């Protein structure tokens, strides 16, 4: 097992009176892909979004317990959520490029926030990020075109490029391929495989085959509880819990 990149310690998340994530403790190893699976409403997206403090936007959300990024307490006193989000990037379910910007500007949008943009450096970042998401050849002749002219799959890869341009350590993916066609999905999955060499990836997915294909580790959540987590191979072949087995064999959920 690699080093632990993200560590959860008794994580609890409430929305008002709803207890969405219950007392979860687990580890996410560095440079690997961890999939979080479970039926709809089981709290997997909620848990994912707590890792880069996206719940800060929701007034009724309450997070307790510990989230450690390396050894830094994500919810610790004096920790700037903005700094955390620069280390923990996120890709969403629906591709959400900035519609008022060109392809080029979308890629450097986050980079521009962090540092004074130097033109030559930005050019380099755009090229390398787009190459890494295998979009460069498709768009290199129209970098100034509006991002909305791309197809859905291309838009999602653009969003991944935009995320890695910020040089995060961890990338959270919230069902990144669920809005895409099978071929685009395949491309995203291949991309995830390559990205894990540099980043720690945590992916929420509805699709068990996808979890089995792309992940090294899998966590199964049900009704806000962590039922089981471990190596993907083991979870999908010899799960320890009956509930896990029922879910992955399609008996419920």
Partner 1 sequence: MPATQTTAPPGPADKRISGDLIFRLVTTVFAFSILIILALMLAEMTSESLPAIRQFGRKFLTSSEWDAVQGNFGALPYLYGSVISSVLALALATPLSIGAAIFITEICPKKVGTWIAPLVELLAAIPSVIYGLWGVLVMAPWLQSTVQPFLIEHFGFLPFFQGAPYGVSMLAAVFILMIMVVPIITSITREVLLTVPLSQKEAAIALGATHWETIRMAVLPYGRSGILGAAILGLGRAVGETMAVTMVIGNSPQISLSLMSPAYTMPSVIANEFAEATSKLHSAALMEIGLILLLVTLVINALARLLIWSVTRSAGGGAA
Sheet with 18-29: list strands edge to edge.
Answer: 18-29, 4-15, 61-69, 72-73
113 lies in the site for partner 1, by CB under 8 A: yes
Binding residues for partner 1, total number by CB under 8 A? 28
Cβ atoms of residues 123 and 68 within 8 Å: no
Instruction: Decide: helix, strand or coil at residue 97.
Output: coil
Task: Establish if 99 lies at the interface with partner 1 (CB under 8 A).
Answer: yes
Bridge partners of residue 172, in order along the sequence:
90, 202
- Identify which range of 7-15, 71-79, 88-96, 125-133 contacts partner 1 by CB under 8 A: 88-96
244 membership: H or E segment, kind and range: helix 242-248
159 near partner 1 (CB under 8 A): yes
Which residue of 94, 206, 213, 234 would you call a contact of partner 1, by CB under 8 A?
Answer: 94
**Local structure of 170: helix, strand or coil:** strand
CA angle 135, 139, 142 (to 5 degrees): 160
Beta 88-91 vs 170-174: how paired, if at all?
parallel
Question: Taking CB under 8 A as the rule, does residue 145 contact partner 1?
Answer: no
With binding defined as CB under 8 A, does residue 117 bind partner 1?
no
Is the CB of 38 or the CB of 89 nearer to partner 1? 89
Give yes or no for residue 110 binding partner 1 (CB under 8 A): yes
**Sole binder of partner 1 in the list 83, 117, 118, 145 (CB under 8 A):** 83
Single residue of 82, 117, 118, 145 touching partner 1 by CB under 8 A:
82
Tell me the C-alpha distance between 64 and 80, whole Å. 17
How far apart CA 207 and CA 218 sit, in angstroms, is 12
Bridge-partner residues for 173, per DSSP? 91, 203
CB of 105 to partner 1, least distance (A): 10
> In the complex, what is the shortest distance from the CB of residue 110 to partner 1, in angstroms, rounded to a whole number?
3
Which two three-digit tokens encode residue 206? 């509805």
**Span near partner 1 by CB under 8 A; candidates 26-34, 92-100, 185-193, 235-243:** 92-100
Which positions lie near partner 1, rule CB under 8 A?
A: 52, 54, 57, 59, 82-83, 85-86, 89-90, 92, 94, 96-101, 109-110, 113-114, 146, 148, 159, 162-163, 166
């Amino acid at each position: 097992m690699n080093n632990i990149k993200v560590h959860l310690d008794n994580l609890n998340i409430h929305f008002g009176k709803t207890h969405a994530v219950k007392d979860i403790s687990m580890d996410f190893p560095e440079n690997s892909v961890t999939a979080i699976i479970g039926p709809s409403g089981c709290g997997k997206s909620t848990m994912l979004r707590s890792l880069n403090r996206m719940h800060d936007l929701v007034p009724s959300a309450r997070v307790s317990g510990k989230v450690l990024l390396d050894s830094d307490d994500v919810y610790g006193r004096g920790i700037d959520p903005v700094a955390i989000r620069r280390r923990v990037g996120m890709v969403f379910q629906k591709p959400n490029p900035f519609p008022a910007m060109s392809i080029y500007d979308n890629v450097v949008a986050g980079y521009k926030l962090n540092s004074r943009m130097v033109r030559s450096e930005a050019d380099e970042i755009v090229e390398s990020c787009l190459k890494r998401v295998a979009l460069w050849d498709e768009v290199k002749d129209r970098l100034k075109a509006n991002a909305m002219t791309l197809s859905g799959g291309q838009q999602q890869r653009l969003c991944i490029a935009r995320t890695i341009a910020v040089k995060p350590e961890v990338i959270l993916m919230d069902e990144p391929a669920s809005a895409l066609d099978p071929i685009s999905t395949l491309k995203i999955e291949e991309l995830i495989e390559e990205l894990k060499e540099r980043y720690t990836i945590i992916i929420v997915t509805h699709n068990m085959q996808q979890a089995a294909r792309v992940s090294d580790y899998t966590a199964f959540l049900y009704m806000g509880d962590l039922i089981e987590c471990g190596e993907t191979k083991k979870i999908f072949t010899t799960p320890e819990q009956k509930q896990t087995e029922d879910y992955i064999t399609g008996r419920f959920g």
